[in-house]
Amino acid sequence: MTKFPPVFKGDYAIIHGGDYNPEQWLKEKDTIWKRDMELAKGASINSLSVGIFSWALIEREEGVFDFSWLDETMDMLAENDIKAILATPSGARPPWLAEKYPEVLRVDNNRQKMLYAGRHNHCLSSPVYREKVRIINTKLAERYKNHPALAMWHVSNEYGGECHCEICQKRFREWLRERYLTIDKLNDAWWGAFWSHVYTSFEQISSPTTPSWLGENEQHGLKLAWRRFVSDQHCNFVDNEIAPLRAITPDIPVTINMMDLFPTINYFEMAKRLDRASWDNYPQWTGSEADYSVALRPAFNHELQRSLKDGKPFLMMESSPSVVNWQSSNSLREPGTVMLQGLQAVAFGSDSVQYFQFRKGRGGCEKFHGAIVGHEGSENTRVYKEVAETGRALQKLSEVAGTGIKADTALLFDWENNWALSDAKFGKQDKRYEETVMRSYEALKRLGVQVDIVDETKSLDKYKVVIGDMAYMLRGDYAARVKRFVENGGTYIGTYVTGYVNDEDLCFLGGFPGPLSEMFGIWAEEIDILPQGAECFIDYHGKDYKTLDWCEVIHAKGADVIGKYADASTRFYRDTPALTMNRYGEGTAYYIAARMPVEFLIDFYRDALVIAGVETEDMPEGVMRSVRSNGENEYLFLMNFYPKDSEIELHGDYTDLLTGKHEAGKTTLKSRQAMCLKKN
């Protein structure tokens, strides 16, 4: 593995910064702006994200542009050696724009037109909005293309949502025409004879509604097409935003701040437009042992963000240095959380630790959201001190910037599969796809395994093991590539509800798991969602593991049965296969027929990984590990999310980059401590 280029040209440092809104303090430039720079430096801040919601401050009237405050901001940042991540302002629009061109406002899925309000509510198709965005982005790029502070583009802010206006309906129909060519093909793909849904023209189709009684909401083909369309609309909106930036500033990297597993955009597709992935991380820390579970979600998302760009370091664009004002409880974080949260991001491949927000505003709905600088305004706060301490720590980790993560194991999370599964009706229960993938992820982390996150389009070739939970929809050539992967010696672990439907959400005929039946050497005949009071167990290596709610009834068709539904199971299929292994080509395909708790997954994955030649190391409770490397140096990150100390055995000789101390053998991780150990 070689070193990746630095995020900011020529600058191998970990980015430390956050969202900065000097435009909220135009009347206090001499005092607040000045103080901001002192405070930023005192916290080792080397980058600030500016301009994010500043449209009205730049174009107060249509076509009348005033960049003076932004010029001053950019100059001030340059003078203070702080890089600007400059945003395009499309995340929120000025009132005049909505007043003059109501088409820019979104229509909700209940077909109600929204009023001018809030942010993030523009129509994705509106030609006027796209044009206005193109103009202002062009002006920004022209103006700052040679500015020494400009280091990166932050395109809009947290894209999301959908619009059901007439322009969007028209675009949707065009999109359908491009995909299906003829209405008959669409009818076939959507199984039109069901409930008499045989369309005779594309004009008869419109987007699904909420509430469901208002319009179409049961047509799975339509719903899936709509989700794909909405995601595509975001992507081509982004293309429109980025085009002038690429043309005018080809050397300035582009990113977009994403949000967790946000449902309306397939981030694997979105990331193709970007030079770097980035995301906003807002875990709800508790201060208790539950923080280990809390930490799994950001860990997963960090690994996803890294994987979106095939291993390139990403940015943690936002995180709160203290409270978050929109979560269920506005709890303070225990001392040390800022550092732990920041180093966790770096551990899993981030080259940045950034916050929302640098300074709290005096008004608006985020005035009590956490910030580096509070209303009191000095460096004397606990939060500021913790941020400053984190900044100093990151300086000691500069050499980690640009290193990657080598993972032999990939875990599947596929947006389109998630869409299809969430519509699929196996009764009313949630299918729990995300939760299930997260459970596999937890097992892998508890086994200390390095992991990439892939979707069904990513190459599997570099992995030894691929885990594909609930791959209900096998789309594109995924099934063929999985087979090739196993034939060539890979290990694939699949589960219940794999291979039920194709790209169009049409069920495979001839038995599940459809095109993967031969590879798994099984037939999955029925799926049982356990009734109240029923219990099933899988007997694996002489131990009974209780299943969770979903159990498939399967038959071995060539596969070896390595686990059966145990005698203690209350269902009729006790003593039938529940866990199988099939040699296929040079490789192995395992099938787990039931949703299983993490204790089982840890034991089973450990065995399967070791057989496949992947190293595992059971982690002490509450502790996560991650290794960044560049072929030359190796950096072991250890993080303790428990509120008590933990002991861990090191295999090798290390230098702690934060303390300079030599470490080998047993070492103690204090409560909420993160270490970065360089291998000697």
What is the C-alpha to C-alpha distance for residues 108 and 121, in angstroms, rounded to an integer?
Answer: 9
| Partner interacting with residue 98 (select from Zn ion, ligand GLA, none; CB below 5-8 Å by kind) | none
Q: Does residue 158 bind ligand GLA (CB under 6 A)?
A: yes
Q: Is 586 among the catalytic positions?
A: no
* The three-state (H, E, C) secondary structure of 391-445, written as one string: HHHHHHCHHHCCCECCCCEEEECCHHHHHHHHHCCCCCCCCCHHHHHHHHHHHHH
Q: Does residue 282 bind ligand GLA (CB under 6 A)?
A: yes
Q: How far is the CB of 171 from Zn ion (least distance, A)?
A: 8
| Partner interacting with residue 123 (select from Zn ion, ligand GLA, none; CB below 5-8 Å by kind) | Zn ion
* The three-state (H, E, C) secondary structure of 311-326, written as one string: CCCEEEEEECCCCCCC
What distance separates the 2 farthest-apart alpha carbons in the chain?
78
Q: Does residue 48 bind ligand GLA (CB under 6 A)?
A: no
Q: Does residue 157 bind ligand GLA (CB under 6 A)?
A: yes
Could you say which of 39, 165, 304, 608 contacts Zn ion (CB under 5 A)?
165
| Partner interacting with residue 424 (select from ligand GLA, Zn ion, none; CB below 5-8 Å by kind) | none
Q: Which residue has the tokens 């008869």?
A: 204
Structure tokens at 417: 């599969």
Cβ-Cβ contacts under 8 Å for 470 (sequence gap 6 or more): 417, 421, 431, 433, 436, 437, 495, 496, 497, 498
What is the C-alpha to C-alpha distance for residues 581 and 561, in angstroms, rounded to an integer?
Answer: 6
Q: Does residue 98 bind Zn ion (CB under 5 A)?
A: no
Between 86 and 105, name the residue whose CB sits nearer to Zn ion.
Answer: 105
Q: Is 28 among the catalytic positions?
A: no
Between 365 and 507, name the residue whose CB sits nearer to ligand GLA.
Answer: 365
| Partner interacting with residue 436 (select from ligand GLA, Zn ion, none; CB below 5-8 Å by kind) | none
What is the C-alpha to C-alpha distance for residues 172 and 225, in angstroms, rounded to an integer?
Answer: 9
Q: Does residue 163 bind Zn ion (CB under 5 A)?
A: yes
Q: Does residue 308 bind Zn ion (CB under 5 A)?
A: no
| Partner interacting with residue 270 (select from Zn ion, ligand GLA, none; CB below 5-8 Å by kind) | none
User: What's the Cα-to-Cα distance from 454 to each of 300, 304, 421, 611, 661, rounded to whole Å?
Assistant: 12, 8, 17, 22, 37
Q: Does residue 18 bind ligand GLA (CB under 6 A)?
A: no
Long-range contacts of residues 62-67, Cβ cutoff 8 Å, at least 24 apart: 62/96, 62/97, 62/100, 65/136, 65/139, 67/139, 67/143
> Among 25-33, 168-176, 260-268, 433-441, which window interacts with Zn ion (CB under 5 A)?
168-176
Between 125 and 417, name the residue whose CB sits nearer to Zn ion.
Answer: 125
> Among 145-153, 156-164, 499-507, 601-609, which window interacts with Zn ion (CB under 5 A)?
156-164
What is the C-alpha to C-alpha distance for residues 631 and 629, in angstroms, rounded to an integer?
Answer: 6
| Partner interacting with residue 324 (select from ligand GLA, Zn ion, none; CB below 5-8 Å by kind) | ligand GLA
Q: Does residue 55 bind ligand GLA (CB under 6 A)?
A: no
Between 364 and 489, name the residue whose CB sits nearer to ligand GLA.
Answer: 364
| Partner interacting with residue 318 (select from ligand GLA, Zn ion, none; CB below 5-8 Å by kind) | ligand GLA
Could you say which of 162, 318, 423, 539 contacts ligand GLA (CB under 6 A)?
318
Which one of 269, 318, 386, 552 is the catalytic residue? Answer: 318
Start-end of H helices in 276-357: 291-308, 337-347
Q: Strand 646-656 relative to strand 662-669: parallel, antiparallel, unpaired?
A: antiparallel
Q: Does residue 280 bind ligand GLA (CB under 6 A)?
A: yes
User: What's the Cα-to-Cα distance from 241 to each of 124, 137, 265, rounded to whole Å?
Assistant: 12, 7, 16
Q: Does residue 123 bind Zn ion (CB under 5 A)?
A: yes
Helix axes 415-423, 220-248, angle to 10 degrees: 150
Q: Which residue has the tokens 């582009």?
A: 254
Residue ranges that bind Zn ion, judged by CB under 5 A: 123, 125, 163, 165, 167-168
Catalytic residue ranges: 158, 318
Residue ranges that bind ligand GLA, judged by CB under 6 A: 157-158, 280, 282, 318, 324, 356, 366, 369
